[in-house]
Amino acid sequence: MAKPSATPVRTYTVSLGCPKNRVDTERLLGALGSNMVPADSVDGSDLVLVNTCGFIQPAIEESIGTILDVVGEASDVATETGRKPVVCVAGCLVSRYGQDLMSGLPEVDLWLNTEQIGLWPAMAAEALALNLPGDTPRNLSTGPSYAFLKVSEGCSHNCRFCTIPSIRGPHKSWPVDFLLDEARLLADQVSEIIVVGQDSTAYGSDLGQGNDLPALIKGLAAIPSLQWLRIMYLYPAGLTESLLGLLRDTGAPFLPYFDIPLQHAHPDVLASMGRPFARDPDKVVDRVRSFFPDAALRTTFIVGYPGETDAHFEALMDFVRRTRFHHLGVFPYWAEEGTPAAAMDNQVPDEIKLERKDRLMELQAGISAEILEGYVGETVPVVIERESDEWPGLYVGRAWFQAPEVDGVTYVGAPPDTRLKLGDILDVEIEKADTYDLSGLV
């Protein structure tokens, strides 16, 4: 017999990988009802949920290690108490290696792959013997400063290094009305909404009229309680003059922060990667800066892609020097099983990949330090995220050009005997700049 929906369910959750996974976790827990009570550990929980990442080898190893840890802890709890929590493993790793995982880990009670994402609440409720409560808001895990708004599933591009289309399937957008309903609830709880999707600029390309990115942006910007709006994963080909003009005309709450996953700068490497945009990233950067001269730019690059020569890499270094990104992520190429790039000739040795990563990050460290030094003496809006553990009166926040979980932070000192409210956006006078972080006073 199913339990009443008000019965507390103590839930220990681990959400690995990208923000899109976090949204899946929050939507699932929300759908199970307001009675889902966070637990600090496997011991004492009724449900253990691990939402996995299976994108590249390090993420796979982290996911498997986490599963093994929670399975072992759940078995210990069962031995000590005679009561084992329901262990649920979800997400990309299940979609990629589900059969192998299931045969090797019979201790897991429920497996949820991404093809079944619409059925996750019903499947989890059945495993827990719960009645689903009906429509319920997301169970946020990010605090009062921000929340992610996942606008689409999957990807229809054919980048030769990427496993996402085979794991998550082709691009599929959520309808504008659904997203705006969720966003209104989020905006009542947080200061900032961050739009995420595998390719946010492709949003609505699979839907009918009125369900496109301009319609979504206009709807989000019209939410009275929303203070900041940030859009991540903006593919270069989608950053058209029309879209940039709309964003410029939108103004607040939109933040002129552009996260553009370029992956490389040399046309030969981009062509080999099968990247879905023109082979000249300088044009993309120039186009953005023609509309937003003071934009904060973030990107990611892959080094050591098959066939990447010293000359290709030096061209990438030159591009970074002249572009001067606010934020930059660098990843050594991983030959992922099943991708065309894994079968290519001219694989680059691991030691060269790592050496190139270190050189590029060293270059970026200097650029970042110089950019941040330019904010010293300025007053910058900062969202307050949490109290620092370092000393009383010190808080950790983010300036408008710092996205959560991937960029640096701003340390904020409060006046004596003053407690700052988490989630508030305050004017902070910047007094010090480090390589990636700022410090200032309210």
Output the domain CATH number for residue 404: 2.40.50.140
Residue 401 sits in which domain range?
379-441
Q: Is 53 annotated as a binding residue?
A: yes
Same domain, 167 and 304: yes
Q: Is 233 within the bounds of a domain?
A: yes
Same domain, 345 and 422: no
Boundary (domain end) residue, out of 354, 373, 392: 373
Q: Is 329 within the bounds of a domain?
A: yes
Q: How far apart are CA 109 and CA 48, in angstroms?
A: 10
Q: Is 133 within the bounds of a domain?
A: no
Nearest 5°: CA angle at 43, between 37 and 49? Answer: 55
Q: How far apart are CA 439 and CA 146, in angstroms?
A: 20
Same domain, 259 and 402: no
Question: Tokens 């739009």 belong to which residue?
Answer: 195
Boundary (domain end) residue, out of 320, 349, 373: 373
Same domain, 284 and 190: yes
Q: Is 88 annotated as a binding residue?
A: no
pLDDT given for residue 5 in this prediction: 53
Boundary (domain end) residue, out of 346, 373, 400: 373
Same domain, 98 and 170: no
Q: What's the residue count for the chain?
A: 442
Q: H or E element: which one contains 301?
A: strand 296-303
Q: Is 139 within the bounds of a domain?
A: no
Q: Is 149 helix (H, G, I), strand (E, B) or coil?
A: strand
Residue 429: Cβ within 10 Å count: 14
DSSP count for the chain of H helices, then E strands: 12, 18
Q: Which of 376, 398, 309 is nearest to 347 (CA)?
A: 309
Same domain, 364 and 397: no
Q: Is 154 within the bounds of a domain?
A: yes
Q: Is 2 within the bounds of a domain?
A: no
For the record, the structure tokens of 251 come out as: 């103004």
Q: How far apart are CA 161 and CA 153, in angstroms?
A: 19
Q: HEC states along 56-117?
A: CHHHHHHHHHHHHHHHHHHHHHHHHHCCCCEEEEEEHHHHHHHHHHHHHCCCCCEEECHHHH
Same domain, 239 and 188: yes
Same domain, 121 and 262: no
Q: What is the number of alpha carbons within 13 Å of residue 369 lying toward its C-beta?
A: 8
Q: How far apart are CA 49 and CA 67, in angstroms?
A: 9
Q: How far apart are CA 131 and CA 200, in angstroms?
A: 35
Q: How far apart are CA 266 and CA 279, in angstroms?
A: 8
Same domain, 334 and 421: no
DSSP state of 278: -
Q: Is 21 within the bounds of a domain?
A: yes
Q: Could you write out the DSSP letters of every residue in 224-248?
A: TT--EEEE----GGG--HHHHHHHH
Q: Is 244 within the bounds of a domain?
A: yes
pLDDT given for residue 348 in this prediction: 96
Number of domains present in the structure of the chain: 3
Q: Which residues contact 44 (CB under 8 A, 6 or more apart)?
A: 10
Cα 212 to Cα 154, 160, 178, distances in angstroms: 16, 27, 13
Q: How far apart are CA 306 and CA 269, in angstroms?
A: 9
Q: What is the CATH classification number for the domain harbouring 60?
A: 3.40.50.12160
Q: Is 159 annotated as a binding residue?
A: yes
Instruction: Return the exposure string of 312-332: e unless at least 16 CB atoms fall within 10 Å of the residue's CB, then b.
Output: bbebbeebbeebebbbbbbeb
Q: How far apart are the first and last CA of the chain?
A: 56
Same domain, 210 and 322: yes
Residue 44: Cβ within 10 Å count: 12
pLDDT tens, N- to C-terminus, the chain (442 residues): 455 556 788 999 999 988 999 999 999 999 998 888 889 999 989 999 999 998 888 899 999 999 999 999 999 999 999 889 999 999 999 999 988 889 889 999 999 999 888 899 999 999 988 888 876 788 899 989 999 999 999 888 888 898 888 888 889 999 999 999 999 999 999 999 999 999 999 999 999 778 899 999 999 999 999 999 999 999 998 999 999 999 999 999 999 999 999 999 999 999 999 987 657 899 999 999 999 999 999 999 999 999 999 999 999 999 999 999 999 999 999 998 889 999 999 999 999 999 999 999 999 999 999 999 999 999 999 999 999 998 889 999 999 999 999 999 999 999 888 999 999 999 999 999 999 999 999 9
> In the sheet that 327-332 helps form, which strands lie side by side, from edge to edge?
146-150, 192-196, 228-231, 254-259, 296-303, 327-332
Whether the CB-CB separation of 26 and 139 falls below 8 Å is answered with yes
Q: What is the CATH classification number for the domain harbouring 346?
A: 3.80.30.20
Q: Could you write out the DSSP letters of every residue in 368-434?
A: HHHHHHTTTT-EEEEEEEEE-SSSTTEEEEEETT--TTTS--EEEEPPTT--PPTT-EEEEEEEEE-
Whether the CB-CB separation of 10 and 46 falls below 8 Å is answered with yes
Same domain, 385 and 355: no
pLDDT given for residue 2 in this prediction: 54
pLDDT given for residue 321 in this prediction: 97
Whether the CB-CB separation of 108 and 89 falls below 8 Å is answered with yes
Same domain, 80 and 161: no
pLDDT given for residue 133 in this prediction: 81
Question: Tokens 């003496």 belong to which residue?
Answer: 377
